[in-house]
Amino acid sequence: MTYCLGLSLDSGLVFASDSRTNAGVDYVTTYSKMHVFTPAPDRLFVILSAGNLATTQEVINHIQRDLDHPDPSGGINLATARYLFEAAEYVGQVSLGVQKEHSAALTSSGVSGETTLIIGGQIAGQPHGLIMIYPQGNYITASPETPYLQIGESKYGKPALDRIVQSGLSLEEGARLCLVSLDATARSNITVGAPFEVGMYQADSLVLGHRMRFPEHDPYLVGIHEGWNSGIQAAFDGLPKFDWEEDQLPLTPPATATIVPR
């Protein structure tokens, strides 16, 4: 399992991913799940991946091959897409084709070959955006009401996003929030872990201005972890107390209580 997320903010995009890949508790490896493509001066794309590693690597290889050797009949690729959604449709079809190619062999072995992707970026003259591509090739787009997308082991990192994220965040604030979400997920699920990667894209720049990698014991990442934990503890300690004293607690169940025999 893995965990990747993206934020679509007014000021640009934030991408974040873990790097852990495992095939059982005794075989854990590290691979980057953030893939950056700048196929022409007027565009930039970042692809995040979660799912079968072999499928993902083959999809990324096919995308690069189509850029190196374009279809002579004029087929679409990342360099020729006119809109972000066209790029998402293209990547979705590549992914679906790779999955279908290996489906029978993987199914007979009891292995899932599915992969889920997030693609974000911008084409000059178009707005920046963020799209999640399902294994079936279809997709959904982030919106001002839901400015984040997650793939992989998403449930543990979602509460922080739901409480804080909004499209007016700065890129720096979004990057910190992504690290909090990644850290919370890694704390609750051993299949997600550092190194974490974070990328920040300023709208209309057409370059990934910042790409950072945080190993497990990186001082900044440790600071994020400890600061968030202590903040949650302080918030809990400050919650209103129940309005009773310990010596006022009833020693016997109230008359309305139901006693379940053991």
Which of the 8 DSSP states describes residue 8? E
| Average pLDDT of span 227-241 | 95
8 Å CB contact between 19 and 164: no
pLDDT at 191 over 90: no
| Average pLDDT of span 238-255 | 70
Q: What would the pLDDT profile of 35-93 be if each residue is shown by its tens digit?
A: 999 999 999 999 999 999 999 999 999 999 999 999 898 889 999 999 999 999 999 99
pLDDT at 23 over 50: no
Domain edges within the chain: 3-238
User: Sorting pLDDT into bands at 50, 70 and 90, what band is 21?
Assistant: confident
Map residue 233 onto helix, strand or coil. Answer: helix
pLDDT at 170 over 80: yes
- Dihedral of alpha carbons 182, 225, 14, 16, sign: negative
Q: Which two tokens mark 153?
A: 């082991």
pLDDT of 28: 60
pLDDT of 30: 80
**The pairing of beta strand 3-9 with beta strand 148-152:** antiparallel
pLDDT at 252 over 70: no
CA-CA distances (angstroms) from residue 186 to 17, 176, 189?
11, 15, 5
Mean pLDDT of the residues in the chain: 91
pTM of the model as a whole? 0.89
pLDDT of 253: 60
pLDDT of 139: 98
Q: What would the pLDDT profile of 122-165 be if each residue is shown by its tens digit?
A: 999 999 999 999 999 999 999 999 999 999 999 999 999 999 99
Q: What angle do CA 8, 122, 48 make, to 5 degrees?
A: 60
CATH architecture of 3-238: 4-Layer Sandwich (3.60)
pLDDT at 255 over 50: yes
Residue the block writes with tokens 């700048």: 38
